[in-house]
């Protein structure tokens, strides 16, 4: 599972494949913390790999990965 923290026009959101719509956040730090918590929880519950990806200013980086 890849959970994406995205910045678009200085607005931060978390795109979780398990959710139907992006969830807005007031700051990048709050969005990142929420994404980490979701990725960790997904990995703990399922044992599957989980990644937090950050997209900002036209760049993408896989910031954290939980794996077996």
Could you state, in order of their start, the residue ranges of all structural domains in the chain? 2-66
Q: Cα 41 from chain centroid?
A: 12
Q: Could you report the per-residue pLDDT of 1-55, keeping only the tens digit for each?
A: 999 999 998 899 999 998 889 999 999 999 999 999 999 999 999 999 999 999 9
Give the pLDDT confidence score for residue 40 in this predicted structure: 97
pLDDT of residue 43: 96
How far CA 28 is from CA of 42, 44, 59, 68, in Å, comes to 21, 24, 15, 27
The Cα–Cα gap between 33 and 60 comes to 17
pTM of the model: 0.91
Predicted local distance difference test score (pLDDT) of residue 54? 97
Q: What is the dihedral of CA 54, 58, 59, 63, to 10 degrees?
A: 0
């Amino acid at each position: 599972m890849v959970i994406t923290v995205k910045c678009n026009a200085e607005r931060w959101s978390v795109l979780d494949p398990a959710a139907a719509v992006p969830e807005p956040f007031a700051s990048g730090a709050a969005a990142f913390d929420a994404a980490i918590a979701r990725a960790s929880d997904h990995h703990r519950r399922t044992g599957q790999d989980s990644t937090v990806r950050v997209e900002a200013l036209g760049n993408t980086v896989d910031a954290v990965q939980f794996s077996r």
